[in-house]
Chain A
Amino acid sequence: MINTKNLIKVFRTDEVETTALNNVNLEINKGEFVAIMGPSGCGKSTLLNIIGLLDNPSEGELHFNGYQVENYTERQRTNLRKENIGFVFQSFNLIDELTVFENVELPLLYMKVSGAERKRRVNEALERMNIAHRAKHFPQQLSGGQQQRVAIARAVISNPKLILADEPTGNLDSANGEEVMNLLTQLNEEGTTIIMVTHSPSDADRSHRIIQLFDGHIVTENMRQKL
């Protein structure tokens, strides 16, 4: 599903040049659950953003679902992204001015889904994330775990084939983290490919494979036995 060749990402700020990714070669297959680990600043989020088509690599190739996308324009990336990829972030990233329902509905608005259909799908997703009773609340009125469940509902609303999660449990206590991990695992079992950045070994244990990044390089790839 995803294939990278000698991926390089260099950030230039004024005089400083940071090489966040250096010759990353990676292959992720459909249905996999991959965890990316590594010390802070080693380029995990950068990699995730590039895979998630939020950013373009400086050099190298990126294949997504058979398309070669590293030179896509912002418009092309957005089109591909909104159909295929869902995101979950450490800091939830919900819009404060929108209710739970409206936040989850957002991706469908940009996909021009009809009102009735939107309503059905949002309710279904909220049901599934066990947060339907909070549909009319605003994000600040929810606990962190609840907010992350809303974020996951939003990530899955468009039935993406790939979910990218950047430290999804980073801001949660262990109970809530556990719940979020259960949801992700469940999604993976239903066929969604998941790539997750995490610092937590126990979360990483849920994955099929762990990719260790260090200073922009992949150091090890650990195949794990499917649980």
Chain B
Amino acid sequence: MFKNFFITLFRNFSRNKFYTTINVVGLSVGLICTILILLFVQDELSYDKYNVNHERIIRLGSDFTLSGKRDRVATSPLPFGPTFAEEFPEVEQFVRFQGSGRQQFKYDDKEFYEEHIAFVDSSVFTIFSFPLLKGDPKKALTQPYSIVLNETLAKKYFSNEDPIGKILLVGENAAYTVSGVMKDLPSNSHFKYNAFYSMKTLESIRGAEQFNSQQPISFWSFNNYTFLLLKENSEADAILEKFPAYYEKYMKELGDQLGVSYKLIIQHLGDIHLRSQLQWDAPTGNIKYIYILTAIAIFILSIASINYMNMATARSSKRAKEVGIRKVVGAQRENIIRQFMMESISLTVFALIIALICVELLLPLFNQLVNKDLTLSFLDTPEVILFNVILAVLLGLFSGSYPALYLSSIQPVFILKGRNGRGGANGFLRKLLVISQFTVSAMMISGTIIVASQFLYMNSMDVGFNKKDIVVSVIRDSVLRTRIDALKMELKKNPNIKAVATSSSLIGFGGSKTVHLYESDEGMQQYALNFNVIDFDYIDLMEMDILKGRNFSREIPSDTINAFIVNESAAIKFNWGENALGKKLQLGVEIDGVDEGGEVQLGEVIGVIRDFNYQPLKDLIEPMNLIVSENPDYRRNLHVKINSENRKETLLYIQKVWNEFCPNMSFGYSFLDDRMKENYEPEERLTWIFSIFSLISILIASMGLFGLSSFMAEQRTKELGVRKVLGASVAKLVYLLTREFIRLIVIANIIAVPISYWALSAWLSDFPYHISIGIWIFVVTLIVSLVIGLFTVAWQSYRAASSDPIKAIKYE
């Protein structure tokens, strides 16, 4: 039985190479996309799950509202760790991470800048599964000035030496003893740390008393990532329930004074990568993209599967005779169903084998696209492979079901009479299938257009300043910060350098925020306002527009003490209307009448600046305040506006000057517009993914159309011959053959419009600055589908229409 079945199968396939090829290629390509997407999704879902304890690890975040402005951050105050462990019996251990920024490491003659380093508590290695290759996980981070490097860094600085006990110089004056080497963190870790300093170091820098202080003020600075390991069978919700009492005890008093309301955020470690939407979080994935990709995979697979159904049923009149004969000699309906099901399953399994091979070959490219390190193997990803085998079988069952049910229902008497029985009956369904394929394709095309346009828009929209040709560099050297004026002078000697300025926050990446008091009819009111500390050249360099009042001026020394420039949004928010100039504003507030950091600054508004996007474009412009200062501490970011020509020479010149001023730190730079693009990396990636996958879906759909049209042309050869003999022109015949398909494609596009509109509006609504969905998008989509569809169908039709009519008439 099996043998006979496979014989028919292979003979059928080899006698219909054309259709078999179209089917196998379509199914393979569909499966390739699915496997790739699956690998991607599986990797995204696996984030942080490598931690043995991941189900018991939670992160504490903060949700606070200060004068009407709500912030949700991934960080929490320093004392949370120890006090939570004390107050909540559910907590077994805690660990805190405090990022340290870029630092220069030095050992012997090896000297590099390193990033992704944090101060952490020594419990890190018991809570997380970060295996140590060298050193004792329990003791490695218990001493001040000890450091644990990952394998890569250890190799980089110590090659083959044993790093344990070696002294590593960090920054200008710190010396750390290497106390451990850990394995590089896996790529599916939301942590990107390369090295850990012991938290004890911070304690010894700040002094134990201040560091361990449980003074109210320590609870209101959110600068740590706090993770808790819960005891077995403990629920995180229990902590949330009991938190109000904790708040009462430690935080309420000062909170009420500051006018802040606070809510604790608890996130499970496994949710951080995909479901965290907090500020100050590591760059994370997005569950939405997982949904989008999964939908794309389903789309592509269904297009491929429809191809199979279409062609199988279109060719049913050819298979009908076989079915009839089998039935006459004793086949029951289920024998026939089984035969056709097995046929389609064999085909999909065959396609799966091809797909697996192709995935293996394509993975390096795909990894580049998604910036991952995915692998496909029975060892690493048995579930993916198993899943795909099941998927292929299901796909086979699904694709085969309609042809099988249809063909097996054919009555033998119909066929044996030489009639095709219900040959036309499945015409409607076939049309429906073609329509659904092109509906999906049209949705993918519109999706591509929208995503790409949105991406372009964000890159090119008017952000309120000119981001072109600005070289930015972080100034870490505190000596250099004091010599900025001299550096500026030296740089400006080069005619290709147009301006130089510094600021405390880098534009496009948000800024600092602190409580301000602003003048209102009801006296001074509190507001948490963003601010950026700039120098006198900054506004001119950025080519920002001052709408009212004036820029900061060197000629007016008091500007550094009591002058503010606010943006339009601030003027509106504070209800200042047209009269913003001269309004009182105070940066910072005294706590209990004491100016803690000596940073309170009272002054008045001297200018209103046109709104500019100092935050990523995912955020609307919020009120902000610009301050000018000569305090070197705020000169963190250097901006050099250069001529767009001679870039190379200019950069070399900047580097030369930098090295003169700061010989012990090398010059690291980037262009501002490139930096800002990083903010839209997910969108850029999505653009690529969309374009590629929509191209593929159209390709598969057209392949199906190609097969279908050649089949129809073949079927109508005789009719065409007769028409031709009677005088029809080739053009007329081509029109006759293509008309139907054009209609189907147009209908598909009409169906796709509302669905695309709905889905894309939903996607766009996440962006405060977004394009609008114009009619043109759907018109372009229609034209693209029509061109592709026509191109596919026309060739077959032309061939059929221009063939010799005599031959055609003889055709049986």
Residues of chain A at the chain B interface (Cβ within 8 Å): 45, 49, 54-55, 74-75, 78-79, 81-82, 87, 89, 91, 93-98, 102, 105-107, 109-111, 154, 158
Contacts and interface: CB of A to CB of B under 8 A. Distances in A.
A54 B417 contact: no
B557 to A, nearest CB: 98
Interface in B321-361: 321-322, 324-333, 335
Given A74-B333, A91-B418, A55 B328 contact: no
A54 B327 CA distance: 9
Interface stretch (B5-13, B34-42, B473-481, B786-794): B5-13
A54 B324 CA distance: 10
Given A93-B321, A102-B4, A45 B417 contact: yes
A97 to B, nearest CB: 4
B413 interface: yes
Contact of A93 (B4, B7, B11, B328): B328
Contacts of A82: 329-330
A111 B411 contact: no
Interface in B282-340: 321-322, 324-333, 335
Contact of A97 (B1, B15, B327, B331): B15
B416 A106 contact: no
Interface of B is mostly: helix
27 contacts: A55-B413, A78-B327, A81-B328, A81-B330, A82-B329, A82-B330, A87-B328, A89-B416, A93-B328, A95-B322, A96-B322, A97-B7, A97-B8, A97-B11, A97-B12, A97-B15, A98-B4, A98-B7, A98-B11, A106-B325, A106-B329, A107-B329, A107-B330, A109-B1, A109-B4, A110-B330, A110-B335
A97 B7 CA distance: 8
A151 B453 CA distance: 66
B721 interface: no
A148 B418 CA distance: 17
A110 B413 contact: no
Given A105-B4, A110-B335, 18 more contacts: A54-B328, A54-B411, A55-B413, A75-B332, A75-B333, A78-B332, A81-B328, A81-B330, A82-B330, A93-B325, A95-B322, A95-B326, A97-B15, A98-B4, A106-B326, A107-B330, A109-B4, A110-B326
B417 to A, nearest CB: 7
Interface string B7-44: 11001100100000000000000000000000000000
B412 interface: yes
Contacts of B1: 109
Residue of A81, A82, A95, A98 most packed against chain B (CB within 10 A)? A95
Given A91-B418, A93-B416, A55 B411 contact: yes
Interface in B565-622: none
A54 B412 contact: yes
A165 to B, nearest CB: 13
Given A54-B413, A102-B4, A102-B7, A93 B330 contact: no
Residue of B11, B324, B325, B411 most packed against chain A (CB within 10 A)? B325
Contacts of A94: 325
Contacts of B333: 74-75
A74 B330 CA distance: 11
Contacts of B7: 97-98, 102
Contacts of B416: 49, 54, 89, 93
A54 B330 CA distance: 10
Contacts of B8: 95, 97-98
Nearest to A91: B418
Residue of A81, A98, A109 most packed against chain B (CB within 10 A)? A109
Contacts of A87: 328-329
A81 B325 CA distance: 13
Interface string B405-443: 000000111001110000000000000000000000000
Contacts of A75: 332-333
Contacts of A93: 321, 324-325, 328, 416
A49 B333 CA distance: 18
A59 to B, nearest CB: 18
B329 A154 contact: yes
Nearest to A111: B330
A86 B327 CA distance: 12
B8 to A, nearest CB: 5
Contacts of B321: 93, 95
A98 B15 CA distance: 12
Nearest to B324: A93
A110 B325 CA distance: 12
Nearest to B12: A97
Contacts of A81: 328, 330
A73 to B, nearest CB: 10
Contacts of B418: 91
Contact of A78 (B4, B324, B330, B417): B330
Contacts of A96: 322
B416 to A, nearest CB: 6
B410 to A, nearest CB: 11
B303 to A, nearest CB: 29
A71 B411 CA distance: 16
Nearest to A50: B413
Contact of B413 (A49, A79, A98): A49
Contacts of A105: 4
A227 B331 CA distance: 37
B2 to A, nearest CB: 10
Nearest to B3: A115
Given A49-B413, A55-B413, A95 B325 contact: yes
B516 to A, nearest CB: 84
Contacts of B330: 78, 81-82, 107, 110-111, 158
Nearest to B333: A74
Nearest to B10: A97
